[in-house]
Amino acid sequence: MALLERVTTLLRANINDLIDRAEDPDKMLKQLVLDMENQLLQVKTQVAIAIADQHLLEKKKEGHQVQANEWNRKAALAVTRDRDDMAKQALARSLTEVRSVEAFTQQLDDQRAQAETLRANYLRLQQKLAETKTRSETLRAMEKRGKVISRAQKATVPLSQGALDRYEGRVLEQPAMNHARGVLDPPDLDVSLADMERDEQVTLLLEQLKSQRALGA
């Protein structure tokens, strides 16, 4: 069957190899999932048809067997009445029914094998589809995480040497400005202490920036 050939092709597909060779793995996996879903639906339909045909053959076989038994009963009855001619006719009809039973038995065996093959492929394709969907979701998650990391790396830009030098100049200039203001207008004690704390904080920030610059170099 062409359907089983297509299903077999999908079942034999090596997902890892397809991903490695695809220009757009995500697009490829989406198409593969779509193909599998389409084939799965077709296989499911064929399984239902095969089971229905099997049931019909079973009924036909049973019907012919009933008829064979009935003609045998009539043949036996004819013998008890010494009607050998009628007995022979009944036995001939019974033989015809028996041959029909044998024919339907062979058809039924073939149909059962076909239905079982379809059912097995349906279950395998279901599993393959689930695995492919999981792989597709994992790949998209990895790509999304990679984009987030890339944006974060681009956003984290270290201070240039020129910016660092300008910042350091402002920090070093601050004590001189404070001293000049102190000479012209001596501050009270609270203000002096606040200036000292601010100078220490600024100096600490400068040292931290220098350390970051050294690590990034």
- Which residue's structure tokens are 């660092």? 164
Q: Mean of the pLDDT values across residues 187-207?
A: 67
Candidate from 82-91, 119-128, 181-190 with smallest mean pLDDT: 181-190
Together in a domain, 124 and 180: no
CA distance 175 to 2: 88
Sign of the torsion formed by the C-alpha atoms of 91, 95, 97 and 98: positive
Residues 6+ apart with CB under 8 A from 64: 97, 98, 100, 101, 104
- Is the same domain home to 16 and 92? yes
Task: Calculate Rg over the CA atoms of the chain.
Answer: 44
140 and 198 in a common domain = no
In this model, does residue 198 exceed pLDDT 90? no
pLDDT for residue 164: 45
Task: Indicate whether 83 and 41 sit together in one domain.
Answer: yes
Residues 149 and 168 reside in one and the same domain: no
Q: Is the pLDDT higher at 187 or at 40?
A: 40
Contact 25, 19 (CB under 8 A): yes
Query: Which of 155, 179, 194 is the last residue in one of the domains?
Result: 155
Judge if 177 and 148 occupy the same domain: no
pLDDT tens sequence across 120-142: 989 999 998 898 888 888 877 87
Q: Are residues 45 and 125 in the same domain?
A: yes
Which residues fall within 8 angstroms of residue 107, CB to CB, at 6 or more apart?
57
DSSP string, 121-168: HHHHHHHHHHHHHHHHHHHHHHHHHHHHHHHHHHH--PPPHHHHHHHH
Q: What is the pLDDT of residues 12-63, one digit of tens each?
A: 777 777 777 878 888 888 888 898 899 899 999 999 999 999 999 999 999 9
Report the alpha-carbon distance of residue 181 to residue 175 in Å, rounded.
10
- CATH of residue 123's domain is 1.10.287
Whether residues 82 and 150 fall in one domain: yes
Domain that holds residue 186: 161-216
Same domain, 207 and 180: yes
Claim to verify: residue 146 and residue 167 sit in the same structural domain: no
Q: Which of 106, 127, 155 is the last residue of a domain?
A: 155
Check whether residue 54 and residue 17 sit in a common domain. Answer: yes
The number of folded domains in the chain is 2
Task: Kindly state the DSSP code that residue 24 receives in the 8-state scheme.
Answer: S
Instruction: Report how far apart, in Å, the C-alpha atoms of 151 and of each of 142, 146, 212 are.
Output: 14, 9, 21
Nearest of 121, 133, 134 to residue 12 by alpha carbon: 121
